[in-house]
Each structure stands twice: as structure tokens, then as C-alpha cells.
Amino acid sequence: MPDILNILVIDDEEPMRDSCSKLLSKDNFNVSTAEDGLKGLELLNHKAFDIVILDLKMPGLSGLEVLEKIKQNLPDMLVIVITGYPSVESAVQAMKAGAYDFLPKPFTPDELRVIVKRAADKRRLIVENIYLREQLKTYTSMDEIIGESESMIQIKEMIRKVGPTDSTVLITGESGTGKDIVARAIHQHSLRKNKPFVTVDCGSLVSTLFESELFGHIKGSFTDAVATRKGKFELANSGTIFFDEIANIDLNVQSKLLRAIQEKEITKVGSNQILQIDVRIISATNRDLAKAIKEGSFREDLFYRLGVIPIFLPPLRQKKDDIPLLIRYFLDKYSKRKNKKISGITNRAINELIRYNWPGNVRELQNTIERAVVLAKSDLIDHSDLFYYPLEPHHSSDNYSLGEVEKAHISKILYEMDFNITRTAELLEIDRKTLRAKIKKYGIKIVGRNSPQVD
């Protein structure tokens, strides 16, 4: 959220409005004023505020009535009630109606500063706690990007280089390759890592709600707009916004998204007020955007704006030597999570997992290992514990060359022997020199539980 908070002062006395506005503006708050309850409620419907300072005694709509309406529409709003007719009864009424605090007139500038600062600290804490919970859900370290194939080494290096910049990043690859994990890793390596990371799931949103979801809306701007709402851009302000499956955004919203990126400003649905934004944009898609541009379903200028830094995630079938590492990672993860004592996995099961074509990529492998942990008939996972969905022939190696089969088999035995060269060579019935030559030939990475056993 922005460091500068927005405060609304609702009071029928002009000197009180002016003095509050001047005083709080000096303390680095954005202050708006309203001369009565109706105008104050109208402003709240058209602009996002963090704190309201509300006079309890006003002609027309009373302060207490205004307070009740504010809490109905904006239950999280912090309202400081002020009044020139202080009484225990009025204070109790205000607090029961949801007021944050009560300040009797006349008050000194310091008294107002103290209570507003306390409210501002609480407001920031509320929002920071929300962001912290989201960050804990989405935190991704580089250790969670599993793989030592050449392609994965290059991707990790790209994350380290790109992270500290503010360049837009476009991540492409099939479903299940881990595009969201890479996006979060980029955020964690950026200067914005302590700021919000907000995801927009473009694949699950109804097209008619895209604009409201991205830019927010004001109360009454459409049938279901029962309250003013912040959009994803506002929530991500000063942090990172991640558009997952960006190709699903329709052309109308694409043009508004392009403007938001270029001008660094947005407008809520139903409002004319321009809001400044500062976000880093990362996008992902499993579709061919070049083809979408030719078909007219994706804007070419938006593509170039989003794809300053392109990152391609290869499918799992093209980096099968990472499968043993992924198996170990997911076995450890789900054994602990499911509280199952799984001691390992058989050679036959590993061989089958390596030979399978993985149409669902890493996500499908993860789900397969989780199922195997849950359904395992003993503490050692065997091929009979493996269940694939969607179902696809996984027992034939007809589509692989002899070299691919040999590479997969050596990778499997190396994994089972914890990458110990001597024991692997003995099991394969070849000498260590020959094994090292094949490891070098196929580019197999030697990664043991503690340190490589290359004796």
C-alpha cells in the first residue's frame, strides 16, 4: 500500500475543516474535506480513504448516522469521532457504532496528531498483516526451483540477473512447468521483495469483471458494486503484479492495461479520478503469443511492453535428468506433510517415472508423487503405487533413442546410489572410467545428499 495515507475530514464548520487539513497535510497525509454527511459519503463512494475524521453533531444527517453507513459499506474504515458536545453517552454510542476513537472539542494540534498517528499506524499494520499473510503463502526461494539441467541452471541465473531490475518479464512454457514459482522467485530477488506480490489469475476471471478486478470500482458503478473496492493494481502498489495466463485478457482490457503500464496510472470503473501506481509487472502464458498476434487476439504493442525480458521454461520431457532430483524433493515434502514414513522408492518406480512423457510436466509429477505417498502399501514406493492422470501410455520407450534410454537409466541408478560413482559403476557392470565418460557425454549432474561421491 502507498506510504502516504488518505484522510477525509467531515465537519460542518469551515475553520475546523481548514485547520485539520493544514495540520495533517504538513504531517504528510493526503487530506480531503466535506461540509456535511451526505457529501462525505459521496466522497467515500468515489475515492479510497484510510481514515475518516467525523464530527458527531452536524445539521441534516447526523455524525452517528454517517458513522453507521460508513461501517455498513466500509467495515474496516478507521473513523475518529470529534464533537463539541462531549458526553459519556455520546462517546459510548460512537464506540458501539464502530468508531476507532473519540476526541472532544476543543483539542490541541498535538492531541489530533497523536490520535491520527495511532490510527495511521494501526491502518498500516492491518494492511501489512494482510500482505504478510499473502507473502507467506507465495514465498518462493531459489531452493524450490529444482533442477540441475543446463536449462534450469540458465533460468536460475536469469532470475538472479533480472530480479533486482524493474524490467517487465514474460514467462512462457507449457502448463505445469512452474511459471508461477519463477515469477515469485523473481519478486523475492527484487528490491520490492518486502512489498506486495499480487497475482491476477486471468484464466479464471469472467471477461466482464476483468476491468473491475484490475482497476477497482466505485460503489454503484454496476449492479453488483455494493461498495467501493480497490483493484489488483492498487493492492500491488510499490510491489509486483503477476498476470498468470495473460493471453486470456480481451482486447478492450488489453488497451487499458497498456495505458496503465505506459502512463503508470489507472482509473477505477465508474470514476474519473486518476490514481498514480508504481508496480513491477511479470506475466506468464502457455499460449503462443506470436500466433495470437497474427490472429488479432493479442496486441503487438502490449506484447513488446510485457516481454522486455523473456524466460522460457522447457517441458519436463526435455530435461529428464532433473526427474530424480524432483522425485527426492517431492518425496521429502509429502512424507513430512502427510506424516508418512517413506524410506525411499524402488529402481523400477524411478525408471518408470523417467520413461513417462509427463504431459502435465512438473505439476503432474508432483501430484503423482503425492498420490504415491498417500497410497503407498509400504514405506518403500514401488511402481504399483504410481497412478497417472490424465492417463497416458507410460511403459513404452519406443519414442526414445538408445542414447536417451541409456541416459535415463544411468540417471536413475546414480540417484538410487546417492550419486556414488563406484557403486553405480558396479551395479551397471561397467568401470568407473566408462561411467564418467557417459556422465560427461550426457551432461548428467552429480548431486548427492551431502556432497558428490566421486571417489
* Full set of structural domains in the chain with CATH: 6-134 (3.40.50.2300), 149-314 (3.40.50.300), 318-442 (1.10.8.60)
The Cα 186–Cα 424 span in angstroms is 37
According to the model, what pLDDT value does residue 335 have?
A: 92
pLDDT of residue 131: 59
The phi and psi torsions of 149 (rounded to 5 degrees) equal: -70, 165
Q: What is the pLDDT of residue 87?
A: 72
Residue 130: per-residue pLDDT: 61
pLDDT for residue 416? 67
Query: Is 309 in contact with 170 (CB distance < 8 Å)?
Result: yes
Gap between the Cα atoms of 310 and 303, Å rounded: 11
- Residue 265: φ, ψ to 5°: -155, 155
At 158, the amino acid letter reads: M
| pLDDT score recorded for residue 174 | 94
9 HSE (CA, 13 A, CB side)? 24
Per residue in 381-433, pLDDT (tens digit) is 988 888 776 434 444 444 456 676 677 778 777 876 778 888 888 888 788 88
pTM equals 0.63
For the chain, list residues with pLDDT below 50: 1-2, 390-399, 448-455
First to last CA, the chain: 55
Q: What is the pLDDT of residue 454?
A: 37
